[in-house]
Copies of this chain bind each other. A is one copy, B any other.
Amino acid sequence: MEKLSFESDYTQGAHEEILRALAGNNRKPLSGYGTDPYCASAREKIRRQCGCPDADVFFLVGGTQTNQTVIDSLLRQYEGIIAADTGHVSVHEAGAIEYTGHKVLTLPHREGKLTADGLRNYLQGFFSDENHEHMVFPGMVYISHPTEYGTLYTKEELSALSGVCREYALPLYMDGARLGYGLMSFDTDVRLSDISELCDVFYIGGTKVGALFGEAVVFPKGNAPAHFMTIMKQHGALLAKGWLLGIQFDCLFADDLYFRISRHAIEMAELLKKGFSEKGYEFFLDSPTNQQFLVLENKKLEELKMRVGFEFWEKKDEAHTVVRFATSWATTEEQVQRLLDLL
């Protein structure tokens, strides 16, 4: 019996509709660097979904690359970016932000999230510090939605954060590596149009949500910095065959494919959650999206590990470990059932 795979949401290729679209256009000569008609069409569909007819939309290949390029493009050189201390840019991007000269200014997280109060306190403290001109200025705010812990901002939380950002004229940037799973959660009141209204820039993740690879950066008010394409090139982030990204996003945003496959992953996660719960497993926290965090006894962990792939998250105590199970657009009901049977 083949080992089950719940390690992450990027262990498989792409939704078959996407593969078919790529194959169908394979021999068609197309102009490079995002200037082709598929990119244009994908941009238009994304604008429509966001309710932002003037949005600037760019396609990049991966998440770290996108974070690095977007953040560097918006910060002045003496500015840093505020993030939760658990934020991906702070921990797991090998210093890609610092590499471009900018400090990541960390604040304590609450289940992976920044709070409006925490942000305001920090900003008040910074500007009232008489030595602040010797310190890194906050220049932007980074959040992920879903967060690295699978949690989601409520609309109220997001509005409050956005309010503080606007008060201090700081762009609010949302890392949407798993945005589809956030939007399709059973337990969210945040829609794509809310994000477009409350954030200054965000990206719609493809790599983890059904594309082979690719992330769509959206500047909802047409507020991309001048020559963003050149900035992408300078960061090694401009794909020569840009249409590969255009075709994928054009396909994801036709017939709601992006939302349908995201919803499917959420349904699979909910099944899993229900099963875990019924079998009496302890959750590390309550995640409403496709990443589920369990506390396992180490003995159980060792036993399970032979039959199913999951991710070690952190040690809880001598006898227990926190682990992560992730569903994705590709997870099947049968796989979920097999996993539950193993528990």
A107 at the interface (CB under 8 A from B): no
A212 touching B244 in the complex, CB below 8 Å, given contacts A11-B30, A29-B309: yes
- Could you tell me if A94 and B22 are in contact, using CB atoms closer than 8 angstroms? no
- Could you tell me if B235 and A92 are in contact, using CB atoms closer than 8 angstroms? no
Interface core residue of A31, A227, A230, A312 (most chain B CB under 10 Å): A230
Residue of B nearest to A247 (CB): B13
- Could you tell me if B137 and A227 are in contact, using CB atoms closer than 8 angstroms? yes
- Could you tell me if B103 and A78 are in contact, using CB atoms closer than 8 angstroms? no
Copies in the complex: 4
The secondary structure that dominates the A interface is: loop
A301 at the interface (CB under 8 A from B): no
A337 at the interface (CB under 8 A from B): no
**7 new A-B contacts at CB < 8 Å, known A76-B225, A92-B134, A93-B134:** A11-B31, A13-B23, A13-B25, A78-B231, A94-B135, A98-B103, A236-B236
Complexed CA–CA distance, A89 and B130 (Å) = 18
Contact with B along A237-263 (1 / 0, CB 8 A): 111110010000000000000000000
Residue of B nearest to A65 (CB): B236
A31 surroundings in chain B (CB, below 8 A): 7, 11
Complexed CA–CA distance, A231 and B66 (Å) = 16
Residue of B nearest to A92 (CB): B134
Complexed CA–CA distance, A12 and B26 (Å) = 6
Interface core residue of A30, A98, A207, A309 (most chain B CB under 10 Å): A98
What interface size band does chain A fall in?
35 or more
- Could you tell me if A234 and B11 are in contact, using CB atoms closer than 8 angstroms? no
Complexed CA–CA distance, A33 and B312 (Å) = 17
* Distance of A251 from chain B, by nearest CB (Å): 14
- Could you tell me if A133 and B229 are in contact, using CB atoms closer than 8 angstroms? yes
**3 tightest A-B contacts by CB?**
A65-B236, A5-B29, A13-B26
**Interface locus among A40-48, A67-75, A153-161:** A67-75
Within 8 A of B (CB), among A31-70: 31-33, 61-66, 68-69
- Could you tell me if A234 and B78 are in contact, using CB atoms closer than 8 angstroms? yes
A96 at the interface (CB under 8 A from B): yes
Residue of B nearest to A235 (CB): B236
A163 at the interface (CB under 8 A from B): no
* Distance of A310 from chain B, by nearest CB (Å): 12
- Could you tell me if A94 and B230 are in contact, using CB atoms closer than 8 angstroms? yes
Residue of B nearest to A330 (CB): B27
The listed residue (B12, B23, B64, B73) touching A236 by CB distance below 8 A is: B64
* Distance of A301 from chain B, by nearest CB (Å): 14
* Distance of A20 from chain B, by nearest CB (Å): 9
- Could you tell me if A227 and B29 are in contact, using CB atoms closer than 8 angstroms? no
Within 8 A of B (CB), among A76-94: 76-78, 80, 91-94
A225 surroundings in chain B (CB, below 8 A): 76
- Could you tell me if B135 and A96 are in contact, using CB atoms closer than 8 angstroms? no
The listed residue (B14, B28, B101, B208) touching A12 by CB distance below 8 A is: B28
Interface core residue of A78, A98, A103, A212 (most chain B CB under 10 Å): A78
A115 at the interface (CB under 8 A from B): no
Residue of B nearest to A15 (CB): B26
A237 touching B65 in the complex, CB below 8 Å, given contacts A23-B23, A32-B11, A137-B227: yes
A194 at the interface (CB under 8 A from B): no
